[in-house]
Amino acid sequence: MDIFNSTILGIIEGVSEFLPISSTGHLILASNLLNIPQTEFVKTFEIAIQSGAILAVVALYGRDLLTKRDLLTKTIVAFVPTGIIGLLLYKFVKSYLLGNSLVVIFALFFGGIALILIEMYFKGKTQKVVDPAKISYKNALIIGVIQSIAVIPGVSRSAATILGGMFIGLDRKTAVEFSFILAIPTMLAATSLDLLKTGYSYTSSEWTSLAVGTLVSFIIALITIKWLISYVRRYDFIPFGIYRITMSMLYFLFLIR
C-alpha cells in the first residue's frame, strides 16, 4: 500500500467512522475499488486507522470523561459487552468477515432499511434523555449489547449505538454524543487487540502507511464530528439510510459486471 492509497483510506475513515454508514464497510469496498489486495496488513490497517478518528473524539470529549465520573463509568459499562464479544469472535471476524464484500453489501442494504424504518417510527416523538451523563447504567449496558452487532462489517458501530440509544429514549443529539464517547474504548481496544495478535510485524513502509492513514483520519474526523452535531440538531438520518441502500446496490452491480 502506497502513501496515496493510505491517504485516500484515511479520508474515508475520517468521514465515515461517526456517520451511520459503516467505516469498515467503506474501507473494504474502497480497497477493492483501488485494487488493494486484502492481505493481513490491509485488514489490520482498516482497523488501526480508526484510532485516528478516536483521537479526534478524545480531543473534543476527553475533558467530559475526566470531569464527569458517572459518564466515564457508564461508558465502561457499555463497552463491556462489545469487548467480550469482540475478543471471542476476533479470529472468526478477521478470517471470514473482514474483506468479504458480500457481507458488507448485505449489511449496508438491510442497515439502510432499518435506519429509515426506525427514523419513521420516531418521527414526531419526544425523547426523554438529553444529556449523555444522565443515561442509566441499564440503558448504557443495552447500548453496549446493541453495539456488539457491529462486529459484522457494514453494520456500522455508530448506526447501531445511535439507533439503539434513540430506541431506549435518548434524543438524537445525545445518542450521537454517547456514540462518539463509547467509540473511545471500543476502537482503541479493537486496534490494540489486532496489533497484539499480529505481533507488530510490519515493514517500515507499512508503518509509514499506518501513520499517514491515522493522521489523515484524525484531521478529517475532527471536521466530521463537528458537522454531524450541527446536522442532527435539524435533520434525521433517513438520507443516510437511502445512501446505504444506494451504495450497496451500486457495489453489487460492480461486483457482478
pLDDT at 126: 66
Does position 200 have pLDDT exceeding 80, yes or no? no
What is the dihedral angle through the alpha carbons of 49, 93, 186, 230, rounded to the nearest 10 degrees? 70
The answer to whether 144 touches 164, Cβ cutoff 8 Å, is: no
pLDDT at 189: 81
Mean pLDDT of 168-175: 86
Domain containing 98: what range?
3-256
The answer to whether 194 touches 45, Cβ cutoff 8 Å, is: no
pLDDT band, residue 99 (cuts 50/70/90)? low
pLDDT at 74: 92
pLDDT at 254: 76
Does position 9 have pLDDT exceeding 90, yes or no? yes
- The residue type of 255 is L
Does position 105 have pLDDT exceeding 70, yes or no? yes
% of the chain residues with pLDDT over 70: 92
- The residue type of 228 is L
DSSP 149-201: GGGSTTS-HHHHHHHHHHHTTB-HHHHHHHHHHHHHHHHHHHHHHHHHHHTT-
For the chain, state the CA radius of gyration: 17
Does position 140 have pLDDT exceeding 90, yes or no? yes
pLDDT at 244: 93
Residue with cell 469482540: 86
Handedness of CA 155, 1, 10, 42 (dihedral sign): positive
Residue 63, exposed/middle/buried by CB under 10 A (0-12, 13-18, 19+)? Answer: exposed
Convert the pLDDT of each residue in 209-257 to its tens digit: 889 999 999 999 999 999 999 998 888 899 999 999 998 898 888 776 6
pLDDT at 124: 67
pLDDT band, residue 199 (cuts 50/70/90)? low
CB half-sphere exposure, 72, CA atoms < 13 A: 9
Total tally of structural domains belonging to the chain: 1
Phi, then psi, of 170 in degrees rounded to 5: -80, 145
Helix (H, G, I), strand (E, B) or coil at 14: helix
